[in-house]
A and B are shown apart, each in its own frame.
Chain A
């Protein structure tokens, strides 16, 4: 169980990205975070694995306060949290296989990995992860030779390598076309349903959110303005979250 308690983030320039955010995620949920650009979705996800340091508040994951950890302990928590990014964040000049293997860095011997060596079983695992996302034949290509959808599948394979118990997906399909978006989100859904990983996923499109979420929260100006089931978001709620001028755009 993941508990976010009174989370606040104020950036150096004084921008308040998160204001006293609190919610709970049960194990096995597929929680979608919606909200406008700049509403604090990315900051929220990055605070959970401490890529961004929260200003105030606590993040309790399975009884451990993540905000109090540092060094080795923090890395041990991070390796259990897979992350998927809008811009895929692959090392473009490295091979697909190396990118996937890097998901294992939290587990392997740092000195061996610094020399570029991974245990045989990790290489086998990486190849099977690539097979699972359907791009095994691309394993030895450079990451930047792949299409956007394929690159995001590499990102998913990298997260899979971590044997994650929690997945943080930051706008995983915002750079992709609608058809590819669904195939990527189906892989994330598989991680959730078959591997039992809890998913926190931020999305722009409400239609996508409705299709995959077991529960949703909405952020507006850094505050939680909605928590509930996808079906509970009607036109009024929609205007509350996205503003009066917004129009719903469907992605099927």
Chain B
């Protein structure tokens, strides 16, 4: 069984249809990149997978390991192993990163019937994961993302991903706003998490990210549907020729 199976998904936002019968199958352990021009529906796909309110599913289905994902709330999806790395991670003043991480981790464990982590065990995991990403202890004591640079926010997303150990990671424009050094740190963090048990859906506008996180499959998203799929070389073709070919195809 595929880990993620999206069939004929149609989604309306503010009265406008954004996704138009989208099909996508991601096998266990695979990394899929979804590329497309602005307005193709990339971020909508990411938000629908995570369960954000305001996205009306008017048709189709999404299954994670055979389970109907659309029937679950955002927190339940997270407990089932879905993780969305936000394009614009939010600042949460007054909630220390440590508190946030611990609350999230224990809530997920509780929902899965696992015992809560002891404080020393939790601290150890955070320290290890933060150390690998170059995140200072001082940043963990501050409010979530408060006063963080763009790069620090993205690193913090990867830290959360590392700690929560999701099965399906959805990366929404993880490369946006990053300089090349920050991009490398983030990409290394993601690459360390690749495993035969974990799948990735990477949403990106540019090919650049795919130099650092090499996908198994590349899809072209156009007007709310996957119109072409291929290997990593498809991304290079897109970078060279743009999306013009699909423009004429659609016309």
User: Do A and B associate with each other?
Assistant: no
Where the two chains meet, the residues of A that have a C-beta atom closer than 8 Å to any C-beta of B are none
